[in-house]
């Protein structure tokens, strides 16, 4: 063992929901990172983002002092007291003039549980605004809403990852995990070694689809037709589990009637997936000893995202697999704390412990923990995109605090988002770098990064883990928790926000969550440390966690799971003569999200220096463009220019662009902000687009 390894800290990656265990050693200026072989989730594996995550710590562009927009219109360095004082004073002014709800708070799924919890409390107790929401609306909110309605609870994977290794057949809809969470592939590899089959449904033949045994190349926006079509075949061929359906579910008759009209030939027309493949896939699932359906952002980020997920949950229920080992339905959550971040109150309609803010008993419980009267807690606010879209409006949000999101890049229809952010009276952003959103701010607050603070996250399995601090934060930066407590003090609510450490925040979170669906009250930092994390719910310090949910009953009113008979609808914006192709968006391996962190890492930029538009040779020929050329993509919302990659690994009717870049390179200038009526998820995964060569003169 080298000296570095002797002085390593076992902690977790700052990026995705796998939350790989890593050992961090060296110094802050030159950190060494290796995968932690003892952490069961990644067992030593890391992806290229994890290996290089240390680069952001001592990056030359790192913010080390607050910035305030000066009289000349530029962001200028300021000291902390001045910056916090300006923020508190201007928030008070805005609330005095326009009311409490005129101040909004926007959080994120990269925040630890402690931060997400405190941000929600800060909104409700220090600001007393109802308007707090977060970027999870853009992520897994459709799966969350569908799971709650169908199964009674949303924990992305209601089973441990290890179940993947033992599932006979897995249908993965709209997830490119070989690029978005590479170490997870070891579970699929073990599944394959056990003789299992992976089927991927994706409009692109992604790295994951190439690896899989089968690939269903469906048209963007057609998942529900596919799911209903698969169920049609299962019913027709008597491959549904009748005993399970009658014992553990309700609502199947309506669904059976509905899917009777989704015969394979019709579904081929709706999805572009050949009839024979639909029938074979259904039979593979129906005959499997254990079958698992997984969804990721492909079907979820749509204006019918909730219904798409209902379609896939219906399948898993009809197969009789939900609540049995090695099968069932799961959503692959994306952000580092995308799971915990959706449980503890940074969502507009939510209180800690995954409770509803309109539930009187939940309000009473949480108000008691916070020592405030329940009547002082605001009601539900508006959802993420609506919150941003209300910025600057007469009756909208006039001041916004953003912590852990870069909405100028990641929200749909970003021209409009930028206009809204500019219309604010006050924009405050806490970040490590001047992100595209921070560049529009009046005040920027520099904060500590993942390796510089303790905190917990909850990974995609529902495993609550402890991220340990490896280094001290550099001089000049504060932790997000410090920022919130200091601001609360400036706003005159110090007595509700006195904590000595993140552990004290976690202990209070535990009390606030006690008895709720996501009960953390039995968890302590010591336990998380000793047990490689603990699966929630866990309501007793001497009780075990809950790796597998739904084994005996569903936490619904009747104890049964609910089928949803939902019909396929076309996308909010379909193709037509002017915009003849589908545009879909997503990720590449070497960049993360809005790119604030990864675009600053040289090794990652070498892999993925710019957004590349993928299109099929046939579509390229029709658009008169060729490989490597610059092309303009135009939708009803705007135009942007990209280099084109001509590839057969995508449908002829579809163009794909990753969303990790801002400004002129931002594909979100093009995307459609049509929202799902229930989850309020924007339709990132499908809109209509035209592709033209960038030669500006019109051809002859
Ligand atoms: N490298 C990297 N990894 C990441 C992230 C990152 O930014 N970069 N982000 C993390 C986060 S927050 C998330 S949410 C996850 C997301 O992880 P994934 O869901 O795996 O990622 P995406 O690329 O957004 O979308 C997955 C696939 O959906 C397909 N798709 C598009 N339209 C449709 C459709 O209509 N139906 C179906 N079935 N599929 C469709 C796309 O072609 C794409 O391959 O990744 C996490 N991991
Ligand atoms: N077109 C298109 N758009 C998409 C998607 C898509 O598939 N297509 N996917 C959507 C999805 S799934 C997601 S999750 C969103 C993500 O998009 P964003 O919400 O923009 O997420 P990040 O880019 O991770 O932004 C996090 C910002 O906060 C900073 N940050 C990270 N950790 C912390 C912290 O602990 N404290 C503070 N104060 N700051 C922190 C980072 O530096 C970064 O600037 O994008 C969505 N947008
Ligand atoms: S897979 Fe996710 S958690 Fe693991 S190293 Fe890569 S980005 Fe980090
Ligand atoms: Mo996400």
Tell me if 357 is assigned to some domain. yes
How many angstroms is it from 137 CA to the middle of ligand 4? 9
- Mutating to test ligand 1, I would choose from 174, 199, 612 the residue with most ligand atoms within 8 A of its C-beta, which is 174
User: Which residues lie closer than 8 Å to 143 by C-beta, 6 or more apart?
Assistant: 154, 156, 295, 300, 305, 309, 331
User: Do 508 and 364 share a structural domain?
Assistant: yes
User: Do 489 and 355 share a structural domain?
Assistant: yes
How many angstroms is it from 360 CA to the middle of ligand 4? 31
Measure the CA–CA gap between 44 and 446, rounded to whole angstroms. 32
Q: Whose CA is nearest to atom 2 of ligand 1?
A: 180
- Mutating to test ligand 2, I would choose from 413, 591, 593, 686 the residue with most ligand atoms within 8 A of its C-beta, which is 593
- Mutating to test ligand 2, I would choose from 202, 410, 449 the residue with most ligand atoms within 8 A of its C-beta, which is 410
- Ligand nearest the Cα of residue 16 is 3
User: Do 197 and 299 share a structural domain?
Assistant: yes
How many angstroms is it from 355 CA to the middle of ligand 3? 29
Pocket of ligand 2 (CB under 6 A): 108-111, 135, 138-139, 297, 301, 334-335, 403-407, 409-410, 430-433, 435, 447, 480, 585-586, 593-594, 596-597, 659, 667-668, 671, 684
User: Do 116 and 37 share a structural domain?
Assistant: no
Domains in the chain, number: 4
What pLDDT, on a 0 to 100 scale, did the predictor assign at position 333?
98
Last residue of some domain: 331, 366, 401? 331
How many angstroms is it from 451 CA to the middle of ligand 2? 18
Q: Is the Cβ atom of 460 under 6 angstroms away from ligand 1?
A: no
- Ligand nearest the Cα of residue 384 is 2
Closest ligand 1 atom, residue 296 Cα: 19
Tell me if 563 is assigned to some domain. no
User: Do 224 and 281 share a structural domain?
Assistant: yes
Please state whether the predicted TM-score (pTM) of the whole model is above 0.85: yes
Beta strand 638-646 with 612-615: parallel, antiparallel or unpaired?
A: parallel
User: Which residues lie closer than 8 Å to 322 by C-beta, 6 or more apart?
Assistant: 151, 158, 248, 313, 316, 328, 329, 550, 561
Tell me if 553 is assigned to some domain. no
What is the CATH classification number for the domain harbouring 323?
Answer: 3.40.228.10
- Mutating to test ligand 3, I would choose from 14, 19, 46, 591 the residue with most ligand atoms within 8 A of its C-beta, which is 46
What pLDDT, on a 0 to 100 scale, did the predictor assign at position 7?
81
User: Do 93 and 36 share a structural domain?
Assistant: no
Measured in Å, how far apart are the chain's first and last C-alpha atoms?
A: 70
Tell me if 559 is assigned to some domain. no
Measure the CA–CA gap between 328 and 317, rounded to whole angstroms. 7
- Mutating to test ligand 1, I would choose from 13, 14, 15, 16 the residue with most ligand atoms within 8 A of its C-beta, which is 16
Single out the residue of 45, 15, 329 nearest to residue 184, CA to CA.
45
What is the CATH classification number for the domain harbouring 42?
Answer: 3.30.200.210
Q: Which residues of 498-527 are buried (b: 16+ CB within 10 A; e: fewer)?
A: ebeebbebbbbbbbbbbebbbbbbbbbbeb
Last residue of some domain: 304, 331, 358? 331
How many angstroms is it from 334 CA to the middle of ligand 1? 8
Single out the residue of 242, 254, 251, 255 nearest to residue 320, CA to CA.
242
Tell me if 556 is assigned to some domain. no
- Ligand nearest the Cα of residue 411 is 2
How many angstroms is it from 550 CA to the middle of ligand 2? 31
How many angstroms is it from 206 CA to the middle of ligand 2? 23
Closest ligand 2 atom, residue 438 Cα: 44
Measure the CA–CA gap between 313 and 330, rounded to whole angstroms. 9
How many angstroms is it from 454 CA to the middle of ligand 2? 21
Closest ligand 2 atom, residue 594 Cα: 23
User: Do 31 and 130 share a structural domain?
Assistant: no
Q: Whose CA is nearest to atom 24 of ligand 2?
A: 593
User: Do 315 and 204 share a structural domain?
Assistant: yes
How many angstroms is it from 239 CA to the middle of ligand 3? 38
Contact yes or no for 175/332 (Cβ under 8 A): yes
Contact yes or no for 599/609 (Cβ under 8 A): no
List phi, psi (to 5°) of 609: -75, -20
**pLDDT < 70 regions, the chain:** 1-6, 696-700
Q: In what order do the strands lie in the sheet with 31-35?
A: 9-12, 21-26, 31-35
What is the CATH classification number for the domain harbouring 498?
Answer: 3.40.50.740
Pocket of ligand 3 (CB under 6 A): 13, 15-16, 18-20, 42, 46-47, 49-50, 181-183
Tell me if 369 is assigned to some domain. yes
How many angstroms is it from 554 CA to the middle of ligand 1? 29
- Ligand nearest the Cα of residue 441 is 2
Tell me if 571 is assigned to some domain. no
Q: Is the Cβ atom of 180 under 6 angstroms away from ligand 1?
A: yes
Q: Whose CA is nearest to atom 20 of ligand 2?
A: 406
Look at residue 610 and give its three-state secondary structure: coil
How many angstroms is it from 294 CA to the middle of ligand 2? 23
How many angstroms is it from 138 CA to the middle of ligand 4? 7
How many angstroms is it from 612 CA to the middle of ligand 4? 20
Tell me if 698 is assigned to some domain. no
Q: Whose CA is nearest to atom 31 of ligand 2?
A: 404
Measure the CA–CA gap between 302 and 681, rounded to whole angstroms. 7
Residue 118 belongs to what domain range? Answer: 67-138+337-535
What pLDDT, on a 0 to 100 scale, did the predictor assign at position 543?
87
What is the CATH classification number for the domain harbouring 656?
Answer: 2.40.40.20
User: Do 216 and 196 share a structural domain?
Assistant: yes
Angle between helices 502-513 and 360-370 (to 10 degrees): 150
User: Do 148 and 131 share a structural domain?
Assistant: no
Contact yes or no for 136/120 (Cβ under 8 A): no
User: Do 670 and 531 share a structural domain?
Assistant: no
Last residue of some domain: 32, 56, 80? 56
How many angstroms is it from 335 CA to the middle of ligand 3? 10
Q: Which two tokens stand for residue 416?
A: 């409009």
User: Do 276 and 230 share a structural domain?
Assistant: yes
Q: Whose CA is nearest to atom 2 of ligand 3?
A: 16
């Amino acid at each position: 063992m080298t000296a570095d390894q002797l002085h390593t800290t076992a902690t977790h990656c700052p990026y995705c929901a796998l939350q790989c265990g890593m050992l961090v050693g060296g110094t802050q200026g030159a950190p060494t990172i290796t995968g932690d072989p003892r952490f069961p989730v990644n067992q030593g594996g890391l992806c290229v983002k994890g290996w290089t995550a240390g680069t952001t710590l001592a990056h030359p562009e790192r913010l080390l002092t607050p910035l305030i927009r000066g009289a000349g219109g530029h962001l200028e360095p300021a000291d902390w007291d001045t910056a916090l004082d300006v923020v508190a004073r201007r928030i008070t002014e805005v609330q005095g003039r326009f009311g409490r709800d005129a101040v909004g708070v926007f959080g994120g799924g990269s925040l630890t549980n402690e931060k997400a919890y405190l941000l929600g409390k800060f909104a409700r107790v220090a600001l007393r605004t109802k308007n707090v929401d977060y970027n999870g609306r853009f992520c897994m909110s459709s799966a969350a809403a569908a799971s709650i309605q169908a199964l009674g609870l949303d924990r992305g994977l209601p089973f441990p990852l290890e179940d993947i290794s033992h599932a006979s057949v897995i249908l993965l809809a709209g997830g490119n995990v070989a690029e978005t969470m590479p170490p997870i592939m070891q579970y699929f590899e073990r599944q394959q070694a056990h003789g299992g089959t992976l089927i991927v449904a994706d409009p692109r033949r992604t790295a994951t689809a190439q690896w899989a045994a089968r690939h269903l190349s469906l048209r963007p926006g057609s998942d529900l037709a596919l799911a209903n079509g698969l169920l049609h075949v299962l019913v027709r061929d008597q491959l549904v589990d009748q005993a399970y359906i009658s014992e553990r579910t309700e609502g199947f008759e309506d669904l059976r009637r509905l899917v009777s009209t989704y015969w394979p030939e019709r579904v081929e027309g709706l999805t572009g997936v050949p009839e024979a493949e639909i029938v074979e896939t259904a039979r593979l699932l129906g005959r499997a000893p254990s079958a698992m359906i997984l969804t990721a952002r492909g079907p979820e980020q749509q204006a019918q995202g909730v219904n798409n997920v209902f379609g896939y949950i219906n399948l898993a229920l009809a197969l009789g697999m939900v609540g049995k080992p090695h099968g069932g339905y799961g959503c692959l959550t994306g952000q580092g704390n995308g799971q915990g971040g959706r449980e503890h109150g940074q969502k507009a309609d939510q209180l800690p412990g995954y409770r509803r803010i309109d539930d009187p008993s939940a309000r009473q419980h949480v108000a008691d923990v916070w020592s405030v009267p329940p009547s002082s807690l605001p009601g539900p606010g508006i959802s993420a995109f609506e919150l941003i879209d209300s910025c600057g409006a007469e009756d909208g949000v006039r001041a916004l605090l953003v912590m852990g999101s870069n909405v100028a890049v990641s929200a749909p229809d970003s021209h409009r988002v930028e206009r809204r952010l500019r219309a604010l009276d006050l924009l405050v952003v806490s970040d490590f770098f001047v992100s595209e959103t921070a560049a529009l701010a009046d005040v920027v607050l520099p904060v500590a990064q993942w390796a510089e603070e303790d905190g917990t996250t909850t990974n995609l399995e529902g495993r609550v883990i402890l991220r340990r601090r490896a280094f001290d934060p550099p001089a000049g930066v504060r932790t997000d928790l410090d920022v919130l407590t200091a601001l609360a003090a400036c706003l005159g609510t110090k007595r509700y926000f006195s904590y000595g450490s993140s552990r004290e925040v976690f202990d209070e979170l535990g009390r606030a969550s006690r008895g709720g669906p996501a009960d953390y009250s039995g968890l302590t930092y010591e336990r998380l440390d000793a047990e490689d994390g603990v699966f929630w719910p866990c309501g007793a310090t001497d009780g075990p966690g809950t790796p597998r949910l739904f084994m005996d009953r569903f936490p619904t009113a009747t104890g049964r799971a609910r089928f949803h008979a939902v019909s396929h609808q076309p996308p909010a914006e379909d193709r037509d003569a002017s915009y003849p192709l589908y545009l879909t968006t997503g990720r590449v391996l070497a960049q993360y999200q809005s790119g604030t962190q990864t675009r600053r890492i040289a090794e990652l930029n070498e892999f993925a220096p710019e957004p590349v538009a993928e299109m099929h040779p046939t579509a390229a020929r029709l658009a008169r463009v060729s490989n490597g050329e610059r092309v303009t993509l135009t939708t009803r919302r705007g135009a942007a220019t990209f280099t084109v990659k001509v590839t057969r690994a995508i449908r002829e009717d579809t163009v794909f662009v990753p969303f990790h870049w801002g400004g002129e390179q931002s594909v979100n200038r093009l995307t459609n902000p049509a929202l799902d009526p229930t989850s309020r998820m924007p339709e990132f995964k499908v809109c209509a687009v035209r592709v033209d060569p960038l030669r500006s003169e019109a051809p002859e």
